[in-house]
Amino acid sequence: MALDDVLDRIDTDIDAATDRLLDLLRIPSISTDPAFKSACDDAADWLVKDLNDIGIKTTKRATPGHPMVVGHVDGPADKPHILFYGHYDVQPVDPLELWDRDPFDPAVEETAKGRVIRGRGAADDKGQLMTIIEALRAWKVVNGEFPCRMTLFLEGEEESGSPSLVPFMKEHADELRADYAMICDTGMFQSKVPAIVTMLRGLLGEEITITGPDLDLHSGMYGGVAMNPARVLSKVIAALHDDTGRITVPGFYDGVPELPDTIQAQWQGLAFDHKTFLGDVGLSVPAGEQDRMPIEMIWSRPTCEVNGMWSGYTGAGFKTVLPSQAHAKISFRLVGVQDPLAIRESFRKMVSDIVPSDCKVSFQAHGASQGSVFETVDPAFEKARHALTDEWGVPAAYVGCGGSIPIAGHFQKILNTTPVLIGFGKDDDAIHSPNEKYDMQSFHKGIRSWARILDALT
């Protein structure tokens, strides 16, 4: 059977595959820092060469920012066209002093939990994207050709907001459009269950400033008679949730779907341990909607959170002032078809209605994106899920994701392409943090997983 031969090839080539990943990890492709612009170019060049070496016609495409890497493989018309997405840029390494080794001098290390690949980008996302490339390499060596029409689409600005992504996708939509977009930038459920993400939350950000007096006032002279903006802000924040954890912004829950019974049963079967999840960060009691499972609160329910607030004197010692202004940054995670612009309008009206006539409020927008739901009725989802189950020996699950991955929605809306999010990261990979790592198990079995998925889909 050809698949068995491909899996055997992956096993025998794993040391060489690891060396290739280490080479890529040595390139400090930090996209957000202009000082590393040439390194981002180097990473793109490295990938172009590697993909061309295995027979994928690949070019580096200029953008106003860092380049895109786009590769193509022709294939039979009766097979699906599969696009693979990943990003080669990485986060900054600060604080450097908290790293146990040079973040761009990667190495395989032995740990109490097994062998890991240590270095910036090991899990996010170079190790993940290389699981795809190594699976394709093994397939080509064994079979002499690839199984279907494919596109490789690798980005260099994901960690800096992807400013060039949407314009590039719109300009090259005909070239990039495919049946499925495989995105390898997610993880395993509780580090042990292979997962396909089928729900992503959107994000709405709002910054509010409440202004009262023209300047900070002496609290002995003006306290009690003059309205304090910090007091107003506290009233606004307190009004955002009721006693059951439900969000009180009018119309907020419009477009929030209920979980299908099949998904709810599957999530219950995952036996999510919320006590351990919260206990790991010094908490114990779920604070969201009290009529929902904790796992729902994270994956499929919308949220409203205060990300920061400040007012008055916050330095050392004490200063008895009545502040002129009070500020807060508030974010909403959105699900289903919640309309971020309608919620923004409703939120601003609610806040304005609370602010007394002696004060004024101003707003600053910080992004607005809708959530995404990927229907699993397409047979490709079940084929991929069974392939993951076969590799890991654990029933793979459809899961949600509390965060936001905008690229998935872009594939849906710009390219009319079905996103399939599969990744092999683990909870302790320390992505974006010092001492980032990627388990050798994730890397090795991730490569094998993609080979099985390719075989299942073609």
Using a pLDDT cut of 90, give the percent of the chain over it: 90
d(CA 21, CA 134): 10
Give the confidence band of 161 by pLDDT, cuts at 50, 70, 90.
Answer: confident
The answer to whether 116 and 109 have CB atoms below 8 angstroms apart is yes
3-state SS class at 72: strand
* DSSP-derived 3-state class of residue 242: coil
Q: φ and ψ at 78, to 5 degrees?
A: -90, 5
Half-sphere exposure of 190 (CA within 13 A, CB side): 14
Residue 390, Ramachandran bin (φ over 0: left; ψ between -120 and 50: alpha; else beta): alpha
Distance separating alpha carbons of residues 95 and 411, to the nearest angstrom: 34
Q: How far apart are CA 301 and CA 334, in angstroms?
A: 8
pLDDT value, residue 280: 85
Q: How far apart are CA 5 and CA 286, in angstroms?
A: 48
State pLDDT tens for residues 39-61.
999 999 999 999 999 999 999 99
Tokens, residue 254: 């419009």
Q: According to the model, what pLDDT value does residue 1 have?
A: 59
Q: What is the pLDDT averaged over residues 367-385?
A: 91
- Give residue 262's pLDDT: 87
Helices (H), 172-243: 173-176, 219-222, 229-238
The one-letter amino acid code at 429 reads: D
Closest CA to 27 of 50, 44, 48, 13: 44
List domains and CATH numbers for the chain.
2-200+371-457 (3.40.630.10), 202-261+288-369 (3.30.70.360)
C-alpha span between 49 and 52 (Å, rounded): 5
Q: Is the pLDDT of residue 313 over 90?
A: yes
- Asked if residues 389 and 194 have their Cβ atoms less than 8 Å apart, the reply is yes
pLDDT at 93 over 90: yes
Establish how many alpha carbons lie within 13 A of residue 243's alpha carbon, considering only the half-sphere containing its beta carbon.
0
